């Protein structure tokens, strides 16, 4: 369904997902680097997904991979929402120069992030 849309709409959808993710991460993780790093990593992941889709035995089209990327990236943003305060706290400590041996993240935060990415990827597969 969604993969049959014109490529321009799918690129717009991927750009919107990248913008939402980058905006959220820049807000949750203070610092100048986050405004540059997260959009660059997002674009690299998108291009990597398209390349990985082409290398698969089934040869997933770029349209399918753009749908997967968009839904997966929105799922990741939603999944990281509960841990935003913890990420903010750790980022501020790192900016002040405080180094910890281990940055503890509760398992419920990790499981929520993993489950939302899996659920959104499943929905993307159904809709594409």
> What pLDDT, on the 0 to 100 scale, is given for residue 48?
92
> What pLDDT, on the 0 to 100 scale, is given for residue 4?
86
> What pLDDT, on the 0 to 100 scale, is given for residue 12?
95
64 within 8 A of 127, measured Cβ to Cβ? no
> What pLDDT, on the 0 to 100 scale, is given for residue 30?
83
114 within 8 A of 57, measured Cβ to Cβ? no
Distance of alpha carbon 115 from alpha carbon 117, whole angstroms:
5
6 exposure class (CB count in 10 Å sphere: 0-12, 13-18, 19+): exposed
* Nearest alpha-carbon partner for 113 in 56, 28, 4, 40: 28
Domain borders along the chain are: 2-127
- Which pTM does this prediction carry? 0.86
> What pLDDT, on the 0 to 100 scale, is given for residue 73?
94
pLDDT along the chain (128 residues), means of 10: 88 94 90 85 91 84 91 95 92 86 90 96 91
6 within 8 A of 61, measured Cβ to Cβ? no
> What pLDDT, on the 0 to 100 scale, is given for residue 33?
81
């Amino acid at each position: 369904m969604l993969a049959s849309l014109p490529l321009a709409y799918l690129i717009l959808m991927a750009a919107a997902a990248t913008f939402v993710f980058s905006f959220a991460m820049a807000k949750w993780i203070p610092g100048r680097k986050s405004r540059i790093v997260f959009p660059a990593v997002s674009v690299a992941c998108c291009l990597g997904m398209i390349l990985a889709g082409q290398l698969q035995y089934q040869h997933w089209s770029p349209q399918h991979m753009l749908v997967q990327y968009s839904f997966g990236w929105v799922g990741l943003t939603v999944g990281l929402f509960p841990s935003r305060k913890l990420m903010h706290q750790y980022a501020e400590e790192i900016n002040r120069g405080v180094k910890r041996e281990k940055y503890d993240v509760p398992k419920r935060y990790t499981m929520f992030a993993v489950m939302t990415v899996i659920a959104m990827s499943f929905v993307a597969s159904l809709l594409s």
